[in-house]
Protein backbone atom coordinates (compact mmCIF):
# COMPACT_ATOMS: atom_id res chain seq x y z
CA UNK A 1 0.00 0.00 0.00
CA UNK A 2 1.48 3.35 -1.05
CA UNK A 3 2.05 6.29 1.25
CA UNK A 4 -0.48 8.25 -0.80
CA UNK A 5 -3.22 5.69 -0.05
CA UNK A 6 -2.37 5.71 3.66
CA UNK A 7 -2.58 9.50 3.74
CA UNK A 8 -5.94 9.35 1.98
CA UNK A 9 -7.32 6.83 4.49
CA UNK A 10 -5.98 8.80 7.42
CA UNK A 11 -7.57 11.98 6.06
CA UNK A 12 -10.92 10.23 5.72
CA UNK A 13 -10.77 9.12 9.35
CA UNK A 14 -9.78 12.62 10.46
CA UNK A 15 -12.56 14.32 8.46
CA UNK A 16 -15.16 11.94 9.91
CA UNK A 17 -14.02 12.53 13.49
CA UNK A 18 -13.86 16.29 12.94
CA UNK A 19 -17.44 16.29 11.65
CA UNK A 20 -18.64 14.35 14.69
CA UNK A 21 -16.95 16.85 17.00
CA UNK A 22 -18.31 19.75 14.95
CA UNK A 23 -21.89 18.49 15.21
CA UNK A 24 -21.55 17.89 18.93
CA UNK A 25 -20.25 21.45 19.44
CA UNK A 26 -23.25 22.80 17.52
CA UNK A 27 -25.62 20.78 19.69
CA UNK A 28 -23.96 22.11 22.84
CA UNK A 29 -24.97 25.63 21.77
CA UNK A 30 -28.64 24.70 21.39
CA UNK A 31 -31.23 24.53 24.15
CA UNK A 32 -31.77 20.81 23.66
CA UNK A 33 -30.97 17.63 25.54
CA UNK A 34 -28.96 15.16 23.48
CA UNK A 35 -26.93 12.01 23.83
CA UNK A 36 -24.17 10.58 21.63
CA UNK A 37 -24.35 6.85 20.80
CA UNK A 38 -21.95 4.85 18.65
CA UNK A 39 -23.68 2.84 15.95
CA UNK A 40 -22.02 -0.33 17.25
CA UNK A 41 -23.73 0.22 20.61
CA UNK A 42 -27.27 0.31 19.20
CA UNK A 43 -29.20 -2.65 20.55
CA UNK A 44 -32.59 -1.38 21.73
CA UNK A 45 -35.44 0.43 19.93
CA UNK A 46 -34.99 4.20 19.81
CA UNK A 47 -37.93 5.80 21.59
CA UNK A 48 -38.89 8.90 23.59
CA UNK A 49 -36.80 11.29 21.49
CA UNK A 50 -37.83 14.04 19.08
CA UNK A 51 -35.04 13.62 16.53
CA UNK A 52 -32.26 11.19 15.63
CA UNK A 53 -29.15 12.63 13.98
CA UNK A 54 -26.82 10.18 12.25
CA UNK A 55 -23.26 11.29 11.43
CA UNK A 56 -21.53 9.14 8.85
CA UNK A 57 -23.10 8.10 5.56
CA UNK A 58 -26.10 6.20 4.25
CA UNK A 59 -24.90 3.05 6.02
CA UNK A 60 -25.06 4.78 9.39
CA UNK A 61 -28.58 6.03 8.69
CA UNK A 62 -29.64 2.55 7.50
CA UNK A 63 -28.36 0.92 10.66
CA UNK A 64 -30.12 3.47 12.87
CA UNK A 65 -33.36 2.96 10.93
CA UNK A 66 -33.47 -0.68 12.05
CA UNK A 67 -34.10 0.55 15.60
CA UNK A 68 -36.71 3.18 14.68
CA UNK A 69 -40.45 3.10 14.05
CA UNK A 70 -42.46 5.77 12.24
CA UNK A 71 -42.77 8.11 15.24
CA UNK A 72 -39.24 9.58 15.25
CA UNK A 73 -37.68 11.48 12.31
CA UNK A 74 -34.02 11.19 11.38
CA UNK A 75 -31.55 13.68 9.92
CA UNK A 76 -28.51 12.25 8.19
CA UNK A 77 -25.21 14.16 8.22
CA UNK A 78 -22.69 13.10 5.57
CA UNK A 79 -19.44 13.30 7.52
CA UNK A 80 -17.08 12.68 4.60
CA UNK A 81 -18.51 13.81 1.22
CA UNK A 82 -16.71 12.91 -1.98
CA UNK A 83 -14.35 15.57 -3.31
CA UNK A 84 -14.65 15.56 -7.12
CA UNK A 85 -11.25 17.14 -7.72
CA UNK A 86 -9.60 14.56 -5.49
CA UNK A 87 -11.26 11.74 -7.44
CA UNK A 88 -9.88 13.17 -10.71
CA UNK A 89 -6.38 13.73 -9.36
CA UNK A 90 -6.05 10.23 -7.88
CA UNK A 91 -7.96 8.27 -10.56
CA UNK A 92 -4.75 6.67 -11.91
CA UNK A 93 -3.75 5.47 -8.44
CA UNK A 94 -6.98 4.25 -6.78
CA UNK A 95 -10.67 5.01 -6.35
CA UNK A 96 -10.83 8.13 -4.15
CA UNK A 97 -14.63 8.21 -3.91
CA UNK A 98 -15.75 9.01 -0.38
CA UNK A 99 -19.27 8.89 1.09
CA UNK A 100 -22.22 9.24 -1.32
CA UNK A 101 -24.85 10.08 1.30
CA UNK A 102 -27.98 10.09 -0.86
CA UNK A 103 -30.18 10.06 2.23
CA UNK A 104 -28.11 12.62 4.14
CA UNK A 105 -29.56 16.11 3.83
CA UNK A 106 -26.77 17.74 5.83
CA UNK A 107 -23.01 18.02 5.98
CA UNK A 108 -20.62 20.06 8.13
CA UNK A 109 -21.27 23.16 6.01
CA UNK A 110 -25.04 23.32 6.44
CA UNK A 111 -25.74 21.23 9.54
CA UNK A 112 -26.50 24.13 11.88
CA UNK A 113 -28.72 25.85 9.34
CA UNK A 114 -30.78 22.71 8.72
CA UNK A 115 -30.93 21.88 12.43
CA UNK A 116 -32.22 25.37 13.24
CA UNK A 117 -34.89 24.97 10.58
CA UNK A 118 -36.00 21.68 12.12
CA UNK A 119 -36.07 23.12 15.64
CA UNK A 120 -38.20 26.01 14.36
CA UNK A 121 -40.55 23.62 12.51
CA UNK A 122 -39.58 25.10 9.14
CA UNK A 123 -38.81 21.68 7.66
CA UNK A 124 -41.00 18.60 7.34
CA UNK A 125 -39.60 15.07 7.09
CA UNK A 126 -40.49 12.86 4.15
CA UNK A 127 -41.99 9.43 4.67
CA UNK A 128 -39.88 6.77 2.97
CA UNK A 129 -41.46 3.38 2.36
CA UNK A 130 -39.89 0.38 4.03
CA UNK A 131 -40.19 -3.29 3.15
CA UNK A 132 -41.87 -5.79 5.45
CA UNK A 133 -40.35 -9.28 5.41
CA UNK A 134 -41.93 -12.53 6.57
CA UNK A 135 -40.37 -15.99 6.56
CA UNK A 136 -42.81 -18.89 6.86
CA UNK A 137 -45.51 -16.37 7.90
CA UNK A 138 -43.35 -15.04 10.76
CA UNK A 139 -42.60 -11.32 10.49
CA UNK A 140 -38.93 -10.36 10.75
CA UNK A 141 -38.56 -7.45 13.15
CA UNK A 142 -36.12 -5.55 10.91
CA UNK A 143 -37.76 -3.64 8.06
CA UNK A 144 -35.67 -2.89 4.98
CA UNK A 145 -35.20 0.77 4.10
CA UNK A 146 -32.88 0.06 1.16
CA UNK A 147 -33.10 -3.45 -0.25
CA UNK A 148 -33.06 -7.19 0.27
CA UNK A 149 -30.85 -9.78 -1.37
CA UNK A 150 -31.90 -13.42 -1.42
CA UNK A 151 -29.14 -15.77 -2.52
CA UNK A 152 -27.19 -18.97 -1.91
CA UNK A 153 -24.39 -18.51 0.69
CA UNK A 154 -21.81 -19.37 -2.00
CA UNK A 155 -21.77 -16.69 -4.72
CA UNK A 156 -20.69 -19.31 -7.29
CA UNK A 157 -23.70 -21.58 -6.54
CA UNK A 158 -27.04 -21.47 -8.34
CA UNK A 159 -30.02 -20.08 -6.43
CA UNK A 160 -33.26 -21.92 -7.19
CA UNK A 161 -36.55 -20.28 -6.28
CA UNK A 162 -40.03 -19.48 -7.59
CA UNK A 163 -42.05 -16.32 -7.10
CA UNK A 164 -45.34 -14.64 -7.96
CA UNK A 165 -47.17 -11.39 -7.23
CA UNK A 166 -50.38 -11.48 -5.20
CA UNK A 167 -53.10 -9.04 -4.16
CA UNK A 168 -55.57 -9.77 -1.38
CA UNK A 169 -54.54 -13.40 -1.54
CA UNK A 170 -55.28 -13.67 -5.27
CA UNK A 171 -52.57 -14.48 -7.80
CA UNK A 172 -51.79 -11.63 -10.20
CA UNK A 173 -49.08 -13.49 -12.09
CA UNK A 174 -48.13 -17.01 -13.02
CA UNK A 175 -45.58 -18.80 -10.85
CA UNK A 176 -42.16 -17.88 -12.22
CA UNK A 177 -39.28 -20.33 -11.75
CA UNK A 178 -35.72 -19.12 -11.55
CA UNK A 179 -32.23 -20.56 -11.56
CA UNK A 180 -29.93 -17.59 -11.11
CA UNK A 181 -27.47 -15.76 -8.86
CA UNK A 182 -30.31 -14.72 -6.57
CA UNK A 183 -33.01 -12.10 -6.27
CA UNK A 184 -32.74 -8.45 -5.27
CA UNK A 185 -35.74 -6.40 -4.16
CA UNK A 186 -35.47 -2.69 -3.40
CA UNK A 187 -37.56 0.13 -2.04
CA UNK A 188 -37.66 3.51 -3.75
CA UNK A 189 -34.90 4.74 -1.42
CA UNK A 190 -32.74 1.78 -2.39
CA UNK A 191 -33.36 2.03 -6.12
CA UNK A 192 -30.26 4.21 -6.61
CA UNK A 193 -28.04 1.55 -5.04
CA UNK A 194 -27.21 -2.03 -6.06
CA UNK A 195 -30.34 -2.71 -8.10
CA UNK A 196 -29.62 0.29 -10.34
CA UNK A 197 -26.06 -0.91 -10.88
CA UNK A 198 -27.42 -4.34 -11.82
CA UNK A 199 -29.71 -2.95 -14.52
CA UNK A 200 -32.76 -1.78 -12.59
CA UNK A 201 -34.19 1.72 -12.66
CA UNK A 202 -34.29 4.70 -10.35
CA UNK A 203 -37.68 5.22 -8.70
CA UNK A 204 -39.27 8.40 -7.31
CA UNK A 205 -37.99 8.62 -3.74
CA UNK A 206 -41.50 8.82 -2.26
CA UNK A 207 -42.86 5.86 -4.23
CA UNK A 208 -44.39 3.06 -2.17
CA UNK A 209 -43.69 0.41 -4.79
CA UNK A 210 -40.99 -2.24 -4.63
CA UNK A 211 -38.71 -3.17 -7.52
CA UNK A 212 -37.31 -6.66 -8.08
CA UNK A 213 -34.57 -7.98 -10.33
CA UNK A 214 -33.48 -11.58 -10.80
CA UNK A 215 -29.68 -11.60 -10.89
CA UNK A 216 -28.12 -13.31 -13.89
CA UNK A 217 -31.03 -15.65 -14.75
CA UNK A 218 -30.04 -18.90 -16.45
CA UNK A 219 -31.91 -19.48 -19.72
CA UNK A 220 -35.07 -17.53 -18.77
CA UNK A 221 -36.51 -18.07 -22.25
CA UNK A 222 -39.97 -16.59 -22.83
CA UNK A 223 -40.09 -15.32 -19.23
CA UNK A 224 -36.99 -13.10 -19.57
CA UNK A 225 -39.11 -9.92 -19.57
CA UNK A 226 -40.59 -10.99 -16.21
CA UNK A 227 -37.22 -11.22 -14.46
CA UNK A 228 -37.48 -7.51 -13.63
CA UNK A 229 -40.60 -5.75 -12.41
CA UNK A 230 -42.47 -3.88 -9.71
CA UNK A 231 -44.71 -4.72 -6.77
CA UNK A 232 -47.39 -2.12 -6.09
CA UNK A 233 -48.11 -0.82 -2.59
CA UNK A 234 -51.22 -3.02 -2.25
CA UNK A 235 -49.51 -6.16 -3.53
CA UNK A 236 -47.15 -8.75 -2.10
CA UNK A 237 -44.36 -10.87 -3.53
CA UNK A 238 -44.33 -14.51 -2.49
CA UNK A 239 -41.12 -16.49 -2.91
CA UNK A 240 -40.47 -20.21 -2.41
CA UNK A 241 -36.86 -21.29 -1.84
CA UNK A 242 -35.63 -24.57 -3.39
CA UNK A 243 -31.99 -24.82 -2.30
CA UNK A 244 -30.73 -26.67 0.76
CA UNK A 245 -29.54 -23.36 2.24
CA UNK A 246 -29.83 -19.65 1.55
CA UNK A 247 -29.32 -16.23 3.07
CA UNK A 248 -31.58 -13.21 3.27
CA UNK A 249 -29.59 -9.98 3.54
CA UNK A 250 -31.43 -6.87 4.77
CA UNK A 251 -29.89 -3.49 3.91
CA UNK A 252 -26.45 -4.90 3.28
CA UNK A 253 -24.46 -7.51 5.16
CA UNK A 254 -25.12 -6.57 8.80
CA UNK A 255 -28.61 -8.11 9.13
CA UNK A 256 -28.70 -11.66 7.76
CA UNK A 257 -31.29 -14.43 8.14
CA UNK A 258 -30.71 -18.05 7.18
CA UNK A 259 -33.32 -19.84 5.10
CA UNK A 260 -33.57 -23.44 3.98
CA UNK A 261 -35.25 -25.73 1.47
CA UNK A 262 -39.01 -25.21 1.34
CA UNK A 263 -39.10 -21.88 3.16
CA UNK A 264 -41.47 -19.21 1.92
CA UNK A 265 -40.72 -15.49 2.00
CA UNK A 266 -43.33 -12.76 1.68
CA UNK A 267 -42.37 -9.16 0.88
CA UNK A 268 -44.47 -6.00 0.80
CA UNK A 269 -44.20 -2.26 1.39
CA UNK A 270 -46.50 -2.62 4.39
CA UNK A 271 -43.85 -1.84 7.01
CA UNK A 272 -44.12 1.45 8.94
CA UNK A 273 -42.41 4.19 6.88
CA UNK A 274 -39.34 6.04 8.09
CA UNK A 275 -39.46 9.81 8.52
CA UNK A 276 -36.32 11.29 6.97
CA UNK A 277 -35.31 14.89 6.39
CA UNK A 278 -34.22 14.95 2.75
CA UNK A 279 -32.37 17.55 0.74
CA UNK A 280 -34.72 19.89 -1.19
CA UNK A 281 -32.41 19.35 -4.16
CA UNK A 282 -33.03 15.60 -3.90
CA UNK A 283 -36.81 16.08 -3.84
CA UNK A 284 -36.79 18.59 -6.69
CA UNK A 285 -35.15 15.96 -8.93
CA UNK A 286 -37.58 13.23 -7.86
CA UNK A 287 -38.87 12.11 -11.23
Residues 6+ apart with CB under 8 A from 40: none
In a shared domain, residues 67 and 139: no
Q: How confident is the model over 216-251, as pLDDT tens digits?
A: 999 988 889 999 999 999 999 999 999 999 999 999
Q: Is the pLDDT of residue 19 over 60?
A: yes
Q: Where are the alpha helices (DSSP H) in the chain?
A: 3-29, 58-65, 84-90, 111-119, 194-197, 280-284
Residues 6+ apart with CB under 8 A from 238: 163, 164, 165, 166, 264, 265, 266
208: left (phi over 0), alpha (psi -120 to 50) or beta: alpha
In a shared domain, residues 145 and 101: no
The reply to whether 287 falls in a domain is no
**Residue 190, domain CATH:** 2.60.200.30
The reply to whether 47 falls in a domain is yes
The reply to whether 242 falls in a domain is yes
In a shared domain, residues 196 and 233: yes
Last residue of a domain, one of 56, 88, 123: 123
In a shared domain, residues 114 and 150: no
- Place 286 in a pLDDT band, splitting at 50, 70 and 90: low
Residues 6+ apart with CB under 8 A from 161: 150, 177, 178, 183, 239, 240, 241, 242, 243
**Residue 67, domain CATH:** 3.40.50
Last residue of a domain, one of 78, 96, 123: 123
Spatial CA neighbour of 219 closest among 177, 166, 251: 177
The reply to whether 284 falls in a domain is no
The reply to whether 282 falls in a domain is no
In a shared domain, residues 134 and 115: no
pLDDT score, position 287:
47
How many structural domains comprise the chain? 2
Q: Is the pLDDT of residue 284 over 70?
A: no
Q: How confident is the model over 60-79, as pLDDT tens digits?
A: 999 999 999 999 999 999 99
In a shared domain, residues 31 and 72: yes
Residues 6+ apart with CB under 8 A from 51: 72, 73, 74, 75, 118
In a shared domain, residues 237 and 146: yes
What's the rounded Cα separation, in Å, for the pair 171 and 71?
34
The reply to whether 276 falls in a domain is no
Q: Specify the 3-state DSSP secondary structure of 149.
A: strand
In a shared domain, residues 151 and 254: yes
In a shared domain, residues 101 and 165: no
Question: Between the CA atoms of 221, 224, 227 and 231, what dihedral angle is there, to the nearest 10 degrees?
Answer: -120
Q: Is the pLDDT of residue 130 over 80?
A: yes
Spatial CA neighbour of 261 closest among 175, 147, 159, 165: 159
Q: Is the pLDDT of residue 285 over 80?
A: no
Last residue of a domain, one of 60, 91, 123: 123
In a shared domain, residues 71 and 159: no
In a shared domain, residues 110 and 134: no
For residue 241, give its domain range: 129-271
283 vs 61, more confident: 61
In a shared domain, residues 116 and 164: no
What mean pLDDT, rounded, does the chain reach?
94
Amino acid sequence: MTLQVLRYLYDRTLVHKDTINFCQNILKKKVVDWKAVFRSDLSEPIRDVDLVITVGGDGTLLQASHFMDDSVPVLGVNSDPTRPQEVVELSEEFDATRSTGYLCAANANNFEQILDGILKNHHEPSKLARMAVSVNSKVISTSALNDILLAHPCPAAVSRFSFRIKKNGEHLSSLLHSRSSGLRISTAAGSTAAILSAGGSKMPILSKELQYLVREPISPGVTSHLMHGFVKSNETMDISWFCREGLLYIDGCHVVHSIQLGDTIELSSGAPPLKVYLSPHFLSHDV
